[in-house]
Chain A
Amino acid sequence: MKESTLPRRLQPGDPEIDFSRRERRLEEIRSQAQTGRVDDVGVRPSGSPIPQASIATGYYRIPMLKEPQWSWEIPVYFFVGGAAGAAAVVAQFAQMTGAKAEIVRDARTIAAIGSILTPALLVSDLGVPSRFLNMLRVFKVQSPMSVGVYIVSGFGPAAVLAKVANYLRNNGSGAMLKLFESASGFLSALFGLGMATYTGVLIGATAIPVWNENIDSLPIHFALSGLGAGVSALQMMGHEDSRALNMLGIAASLGETMEGAKLEMAFKPANTPLKTGVSGVITRLGGVLSGPLPLALRLAAAFAAERRSRQLIRAASAATIAGSLLTRMGWVRAGHASAKDYRLPLQIDSEQRPSRATESLQIESTRAQFPESATR
């Protein structure tokens, strides 16, 4: 072994030494190790300092609340239920006001399909089908989930019966069938109004800050979203030229634009997940697709030639349906993000939150002496 290949250890005062700050620091560490006396904190290893519980960090920033444990079926359920509920309302009023029979027929179809899908999605989330029945053994007015189960259970049969009656009436005739369709259709519209709105109460009446603090606007927001999706689905079935449906589509997208603007302008800490992160992207994309974009397309369609107008309406409808689904997914995701934020339920001011690297006061003195090392 040749002595010369090993790097020669530099001595203080050696002309070859690089007296950069880092080299000086190494010398300092060495002398501190020799004397056993550490005068100041040095470079902090990754993850340091040791986490401490404090009024600013809560309990090590461990979220106090539990995240929602719903699977993917639930946001889809919110979307399908909203669209189907609104479609049932449209079907009933269309029948009552003597609108085109095709509109009534197709709206009843959407409501019926949705009314079968919704309990299927709920059962799928519960895992064991018979577990759904456990919810029918009691009725608790104070629990939005319990009220909702009865809305779903009432909506299903009513919407399916109305569709069956409508089908039989279109393929034959009978005054009795018309009465039957009116009665079941009325019930399905009544439950449909619940379907389109109750999900807002359901997530609003929880401990999740972003949902709870928006409980006043959530049911209205979801009703408009459901109306937009229901009407759009109906228009996609070949009713682009219906004046009534176009008016409804404009109203729904106008309402959603206003709801979106309201959320964007509300600067409260609980609303952060609606504006940042993945949930923020989804919510905002959903907001644009169900608010301003279809509104602009629908207004343009009103002044366009007939063929162009149809295309614009179809585009607006597709955007609204996608937007409605994304809105529900965004809100559910925002609930997850909100539950993970330890600050909100503990009422810790966001401004107080120190970053992990600058947590202790000691680091300030480090930074003053070793600006490079403090920034790593």
Chain B
Amino acid sequence: MSTVTGFLTDSTLCIGCKACEVACKEWNDLGDDGLNWSGFSYDNTGALGHSTWRHVKFVEHAPELGHGGNSPELASWTFSSDVCKHCENAGCLEACPTGSIVRTEFGSVYVQPDICNGCSYCVVACPFGVIQRNKEDGRAFKCTFCYDRQKAGLTPACAHACPTESIKFGSLEELRVEANRRIEDLHDRGMHDAILYDPVDTSVGGLHAFFITRGDPRQYNLPPRPEIPTVYARQGWKSAAIGAGMLAVGTLLALLGGGKR
């Protein structure tokens, strides 16, 4: 009876409080990700990783007097809470050789820690750079979409802790409708650069955690055309067949031509 669930992260509502980061770390008992001063606005986390499953981005632009915040004229400072996208077609899931990464009944992509063997092939297969291998533990980790909480009928920790409902959790279908309504609303209010980041027209086939951002998604480190890399495997195997053919035929010809020596 479970429905496919999703996250809608609305950066026009985010206040950059990082409650989601804290809640995620506390609930999932994740380690620290270093006490480093990045100098990149107020973001000292940098990126998602094996111990960072929610990450608030601080997208800072050149300040301009009279503009700022969520003024329609200029987004001088926007925040966006990043998370595993739980792709409709997931690169990590396709690449995983152990079957550790599975699709759950909630439609999310889940790494079973008791099966992951730490081959780290998912790390290079993720088009968003989300999943990472913990070098001490050896295995790969990423957002579980709070599979444990969802099993118990609870909302994920980050969405629960979000004070502005910037992180919305619910049925994927309903969230998609809501996201489009929200975009229309923002456009009506003059924020014409508000977009919904959900690459449905690539091999990823859409996300289960999509984002409303303002301006070019590339400044949020969101790729314009993410592709799941395993779609290139067919092409690769074709060249492998050519390479193997060359190897076999070449060896045979040389040995036939070389005679007994």
Interface residues of A (CB under 8 A from B): 47, 50-55, 57-60, 62-70, 86, 89-90, 93-94, 97-100, 125-128, 131-132, 134-135, 137-138, 140, 142-146, 148-149, 189, 193-194, 196-198, 200-208, 211-212, 215-220, 222-224, 226-227, 241-248, 251, 255, 335, 339, 342, 345-348, 360
Name the B residues within 8 Å of A70 (CB-CB). 120
Smallest Cβ-Cβ distance to B49: which chain A residue: A66
> Is B252 in contact with A347, judged by CB distance below 8 angstroms?
no
With both chains docked as a complex, state the minimum distance between the C-beta of A147 and any C-beta of chain B, in angstroms. 8
* Chain B residues in 8 Å Cβ range of A194: 240, 244
B190 sits at the interface (CB 8 A):
no
B124 near A206 (CB under 8 angstroms)?
Answer: yes
Contact, CB under 8 Å: A97 / B252: yes
B contact residues, range = 35 or more
Decide: B123 and A66 in contact? CB cutoff 8 A.
Answer: yes
Q: Tell whether, in the assembled complex, residue B243 and residue A146 are in contact, meaning their CB atoms are under 8 Å apart.
A: no
Contact B221 A59 (CB under 8 A): yes
Q: Which of A59, A98, A251 contacts B260 (CB 8 A)?
A: A98
Q: How far is the CA of A159 from the CA of B127 in the complex (A)?
A: 37
Report A-chain residues with C-beta under 8 Å of the C-beta of B225. 347
Whether A206 contacts B229 in the complex (CB less than 8 A), given A131-B118, A216-B239, A244-B258, comes out as yes
Q: A66-B123, A127-B138, A197-B244 are in contact. Are A51 and B255 (CB under 8 A)?
A: no
Cβ–Cβ contact A204 & B62, under 8 A: no
Chain B residues near A125: list those with CB within 8 A.
Answer: 119
Whether A62 lies near B46 (C-beta < 8 A) is yes
Q: How far is the CA of A340 from the CA of B19 in the complex (A)?
A: 29
Given A204-B232, A205-B233: A220 and B218 interface contact (C-beta under 8 Å): no
> Closest Cβ of chain A: how far from B51's Cβ, in Å?
13
The interface residues of chain B lying within 8 Å CB-to-CB of A208 are 124
Taking the closest CB of chain A, its distance from the CB of B56, in whole angstroms, is 12
Q: Tell me the B218-232 residues at the A interface (CB within 8 Å).
A: 218-221, 223-227, 229-230, 232
Chain B 96-140, CB-CB to A under 8 Å as 1, else 0, gives 111110000000000000011111110111111111110100100
**Which chain B residues lie closer than 8 Å to A255 at the CB level?**
246
B220 & A59 in contact (Cβ 8 Å cutoff): yes
Task: Say yes or no: is B66 at the interface (Cβ < 8 Å to chain A).
Answer: no
Contacts of A143 in B (CB 8 A): 94-97, 121, 230, 233
Chain A residues whose CB sits within 8 angstroms of the CB of B215 once the complex forms: 55
* Residue in contact with A222 in the complex, picked from B220, B243, B250, B252, CB distance below 8 Å: B243
| Contact status B119-A145, CB under 8 Å | yes
A132 to B97, CA, bound (A): 10
Apart from A51-B40, A60-B43, A65-B129, what are 10 other A-B pairs with CB-CB below 8 Å? Answer: A100-B260, A143-B96, A206-B125, A207-B126, A212-B229, A215-B239, A216-B236, A220-B246, A241-B261, A244-B258
Chain A residues with CB below 8 A from B97, complex form: 135, 138, 140, 143, 145-146, 148-149
Query: In angstroms, how far is the closest chain A Cβ from the Cβ of B80?
Result: 10
Given the complex of chains A and B, what is the CA–CA distance between A162 and B259 in angstroms?
23
A205 touches B236 (CB 8 A): yes
B225 to chain A, nearest CB (A): 7
Residues of B within 8 A of A54 (CB): 61, 219
Q: From residue B242, how far is it (CB to closest CB) to chain A in Å?
A: 6
- A-B contacts, 29 of them at CB < 8 A, read A52-B62, A55-B216, A58-B219, A58-B221, A62-B40, A65-B129, A66-B132, A69-B132, A94-B255, A97-B252, A99-B255, A134-B100, A138-B97, A140-B96, A144-B95, A144-B236, A196-B244, A196-B247, A198-B240, A207-B229, A215-B235, A219-B236, A219-B237, A219-B239, A219-B240, A219-B242, A224-B246, A227-B251, A244-B259
Check: B248 CB closer than 8 A to any chain A CB. yes
A-B pairs, top 9 by smallest CB distance, nearest first, are A244-B258, A223-B243, A201-B236, A131-B117, A59-B221, A219-B240, A146-B97, A138-B99, A197-B240
Q: Is the CB of B62 within 8 A of A360?
A: yes
The CA of A216 and the CA of B239, in the complex, are separated in Å by 6
**Is B254 a contact partner of A247 (Cβ separation < 8 A)?**
yes
Q: Using Cβ atoms and an 8 Å threshold, which residues of chain B touch A58?
A: 218-219, 221
| Assembled-state Cα–Cα distance A149/B126 (Å) | 20
In the bound complex, residues from chain B placing their C-beta under 8 Å from that of A196 are 243-244, 247
Listed residue (B116, B120, B126, B236) with the most chain A CB atoms within 10 angstroms of its CB: B236
